[in-house]
Amino acid sequence: MQGVSAVKAIAIAQSQGQKIYTINPSNRDTALPKLSLGGDVGAEIRNAIEAGKEVTFHENQINAYGWHGLGYVITDSDTGAGAYLINGTGNGAVLLFFAIIFFMMLFFIPAIIGVVTTAVLISTITINIAFLAAFLLMACII
């Protein structure tokens, strides 16, 4: 499965033709009024810039690998410390979680309480591993 980091989100946004902004104390007076991000992310970016940090971000949310949101980097030029942040929502992991819970309830709980034999348990574990591998492969393709 693909994940999205702050750097990857910025790269994807750039490949989609979005503007990439880098705002720091030297250009904040002209750049901050152009900042169209609202909510918690917009406030965090504004607060970081007002605190003297440099912030790199893209103008709009991206959709990639079942995830949509923003990626941004806050850097302290005095110390070199950086915070690589993402904000958004994803999908797909919930399905994997429910699949795992389903198989635990279906096969492992009866085995624990002694309802099925060891031979049946071993064969069902083998089948479950194959099914889970196929499920994960399909999740990566989609």
65-99: pLDDT as tens digits: 888 899 999 999 999 999 999 988 765 555 556 66
Q: Which two tokens mark 33?
A: 């009024």
**What is the pTM (predicted TM-score) of this model?**
0.62
Of the two residues 77 and 123, the one the predictor is more confident about is 77
Annotated domain spans of the chain: 6-89, 93-141
Across 34-62, b (16+ Cβ under 10 Å) vs e yields: ebebeeebeebbbebbeeebbbbbbeebb
Instruction: Name the burial class of residue 72, with classes exposed (0-12), middle (13-18) and buried (19+) by CB atoms within 10 angstroms of its CB.
Output: buried
Separation of alpha carbons 16 and 54, rounded Å: 23
Distances (CA, A) of 140 to 81, 99, 102: 33, 15, 20
Instruction: Name the burial class of residue 64, with classes exposed (0-12), middle (13-18) and buried (19+) by CB atoms within 10 angstroms of its CB.
Output: buried
Average pLDDT over residues 28-44: 83
* DSSP codes of every residue in 25-70: TTTHHHHGGG----HHHHHHHHHHHHTT-EEEEESS-EEETTEEEE
Partners of 69 in the β-ladder: 62, 88
Percent of the chain's residues with pLDDT above 70: 63
Partners of 64 in the β-ladder: 67
